[in-house]
């Protein structure tokens, strides 16, 4: 084995040679050109180093890797689609952390349309799961801008949210069972399809949202839902977040759980999309201070979704709550409205540095949060451009702040923590969360002691020690 490419890697040769024996040399990447895509994340905030990227093809191979890692104390970092926004999936700069990629484990093991379940491997790309559900006239509702590249194991591990949480819940709510390899190499087969099962601790919920710190998810039983038969999407102009909240309550009151999306967009964020997103155009005839993208869908043809939308919007217009609105004339136009919304994250990169805050507050406090946080960041960095948008129906705002025009990007980004302190201060005043859906990872790890009670943190550490006694899996993430 001494002549193998592994001999030139930074890490001690022994574990790498054992990994090679377990999964085959061709499934281990060590050349810089091959490992490069695994070492940097979407925002370019973290650039890591690694002795190797391991690409197992089965649960047994993942188990073999973790058993070796546990025995040799080799730190392992788990990676799915590498779209995570808190740096957890990228190795650190030590050059010691080995990347375990789930990308090859992307089989759909079973689609059970009658039972409303799909069993998939962790490396399945979310968009493929949508397509497989659609093929049997079912819906898997988890929807996010990264769905073309994020993988279900990553979605589960981050308990991803997205734009359909309002009606269908977070990823946690869409899962019946999991298969997990523990850091010791033991395999827990919890691939149950049961809707009811009160037999003690529900262990799957520990792994969901654990950001890969407790085990490697290798497969999951997902819930499939009936596909809506009617869907209407509207793009709406409002004067203020207060008006958006009023509209939210009107639509929620009229549509109930048929309100499947309610997104708020500040004009600055929307202007960025108009400037930088290919083919983007304003569906409304004039610019508005704030925009709402709302979706109503129904599983029953008995509900006239369009008439409901028109009625609520007409009344809101008369009462001065809405200033302009366009209901999509076709499914394609509805998708084009959503394309504008999903493009909001990526276009911010074209406007220089952007400091991100993924926060949540009680829904009724969203207007107060936006007013106070905007005033606070403008006082801190005069000329900065808050470009907020987000899932208003869930009280989750991506309070992203772009650098002043012409400012130095590096100097602006250097103020990330200072800006975070003032924004998170407003979040705390309103009893909110400093991470609504992206997680803690490495980006917010230092903030956790400030938002968790000592006992809560201690319980988390005790759980980590029980599952990963040698601390080899996703070390220094979350805790
Ligand atoms: P990765 O980035 O590869 O990993 C994320 C974390 O999970 C890491 O800690 C990693 O170690 C761990 N992990 C990955 N796979 C496994 C596994 N099989 N077992 C154990 N641990 C694992 N997020 C939202 O919640 N809502 C949004 O609306 C949203 N929109 C986004 C839009 C864009 C354009 C982008 C780039 C990201 C967005 N995200 C959003 C963030 C991201 O897409 C989600 O966090 C997603 O769930 C990550 O999936 P992934 O496969 O890319 O995971």
Q: Is the CB of 99 under 6 A from ligand 1?
A: no
Q: Is the CB of 87 under 6 A from ligand 1?
A: no
Q: Is the CB of 334 under 6 A from ligand 1?
A: no
Q: Is the CB of 475 under 6 A from ligand 1?
A: no
User: Is the whole-model pTM more than 0.85?
Assistant: yes
At the topology level, CATH places domain 108-226 in 3.30.465
Residues in the chain with pLDDT values less than 70: 1-13
Q: Is the CB of 213 under 6 A from ligand 1?
A: no
Q: Is the CB of 360 under 6 A from ligand 1?
A: no
Which tens digit of pLDDT belongs to each residue from 18-60?
Answer: 999 999 999 999 999 999 999 999 888 899 999 999 999 999 9
- Cα 159 to Cα 152, 437, 475: the distances in Å are 10, 7, 19
186 C-alpha to ligand 1 centroid (Å):
24
- Looking at the domain that runs over 352-443, which CATH code has it been given? 3.30.70.2740
CATH fold match for the domains 108-226 and 352-443: no
153 C-alpha to ligand 1 centroid (Å):
8
**How many separate helices (H) and strands (E) can be counted in the chain?**
17, 21
Burial of 244 (0-12, 13-18, 19+ CB in 10 A): buried
SS3 472: coil
Phi, psi of 251 (to 5 degrees): -65, -40
* CATH class of the domain whose range is 231-272+285-331: alpha beta
305 C-alpha to ligand 1 centroid (Å):
33
Nearest to 460 by CA among 473, 449, 447: 449
Q: Is the CB of 84 under 6 A from ligand 1?
A: yes
Ligand 1 atom 53 nearest Cα: 154
Q: Is the CB of 123 under 6 A from ligand 1?
A: no
State residue 302's pLDDT score: 87
In the chain, % of residues over pLDDT 90: 94
Distance CA 392, CA 149 (A): 25
Tokens of 23: 């999964």
Tokens of 383: 């000329």
81 C-alpha to ligand 1 centroid (Å):
7
State residue 37's pLDDT score: 97
Which tens digit of pLDDT belongs to each residue from 223-269?
Answer: 999 999 999 999 999 999 999 999 999 999 999 999 999 999 999 99
State residue 303's pLDDT score: 87
Q: Is the CB of 391 under 6 A from ligand 1?
A: no
Long-range CB contacts (< 8 A, 24+ apart) of 300-307?
Answer: 300/229, 301/229, 301/230, 303/230, 303/258, 305/230, 305/231, 305/232, 305/255, 305/258, 306/230, 306/232
Domains of the chain, residue spans: 108-226, 231-272+285-331, 352-443
């Amino acid at each position: 084995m001494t002549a193998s490419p592994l001999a030139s890697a930074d890490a001690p040769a022994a574990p790498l040679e054992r990994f090679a024996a377990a999964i085959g040399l061709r499934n281990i990447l060590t050349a810089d050109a091959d490992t490069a895509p695994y070492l940097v994340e979407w925002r370019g905030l973290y650039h890591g180093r690694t002795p190797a990227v391991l690409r197992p093809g089965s649960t047994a191979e993942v188990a073999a890797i973790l058993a070796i890692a546990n025995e040799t104390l080799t730190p392992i970092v788990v990676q799915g689609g590498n779209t995570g926004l808190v740096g957890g999936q990228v190795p650190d700069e030590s050059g010691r952390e080995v990347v375990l990629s789930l990308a090859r484990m992307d089989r759909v093991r079973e689609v059970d349309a009658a039972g409303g379940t799909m069993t998939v491997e962790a490396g399945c790309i979310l968009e493929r799961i949508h397509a497989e559900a659609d093929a049997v006239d079912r819906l898997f509702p988890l929807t996010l801008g990264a769905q073309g590249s994020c993988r279900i194991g990553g979605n589960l591990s981050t308990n991803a949210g997205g734009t359909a949480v309002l009606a269908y819940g977070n990823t946690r709510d869409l899962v019946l069972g999991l298969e997990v390899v523990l850091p010791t190499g033991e395999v827990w087969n919890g691939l149950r399809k049961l809707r009811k099962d009160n037999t003690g601790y529900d262990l799957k919920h520990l792994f969901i949202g654990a950001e890969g710190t407790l085990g490697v998810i290798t497969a999951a039983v997902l819930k499939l839902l009936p596909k809506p038969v009617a869907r209407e999407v509207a793009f709406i102009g409002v004067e203020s977040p207060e008006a958006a909240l009023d509209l939210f309550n009107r639509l929620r009151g009229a549509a109930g759980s048929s309100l499947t999306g309610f997104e708020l967009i500040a004009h600055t964020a929307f202007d960025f999309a108009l400037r930088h997103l290919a083919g983007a155009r304003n569906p409304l005839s004039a610019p508005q201070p704030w925009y709402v993208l709302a979706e109503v869908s129904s599983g029953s043809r008995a509900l006239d979704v369009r008439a409901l939308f028109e009625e609520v919007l007409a009344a809101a217009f008369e009462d001065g709550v809405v200033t302009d609105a366009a209901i999509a004339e076709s499914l394609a136009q509805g998708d084009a409205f959503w394309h504008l919304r999903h493009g909001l994250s990526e276009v911010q990169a074209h406007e220089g540095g952007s400091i991100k805050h993924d926060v949540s507050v009680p829904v009724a406090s969203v207007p107060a949060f936006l007013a106070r946080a905007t005033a606070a960041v403008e006082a801190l960095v005069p000329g900065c451009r808050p470009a907020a948008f987000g899932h208003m129906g869930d009280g989750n705002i991506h309070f992203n702040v772009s650098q002043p025009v012409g400012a130095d990007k590096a100097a602006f980004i250097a103020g990330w923590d200072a800006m975070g302190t003032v924004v998170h201060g407003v979040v705390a005043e309103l009893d909110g969360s400093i991470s609504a859906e992206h997680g803690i990872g490495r980006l917010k790890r230092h903030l956790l002691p400030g938002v968790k009670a000592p006992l809560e943190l201690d319980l988390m550490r005790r759980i980590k020690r029980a599952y990963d006694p040698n601390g080899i899996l996703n070390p220094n993430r979350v805790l």
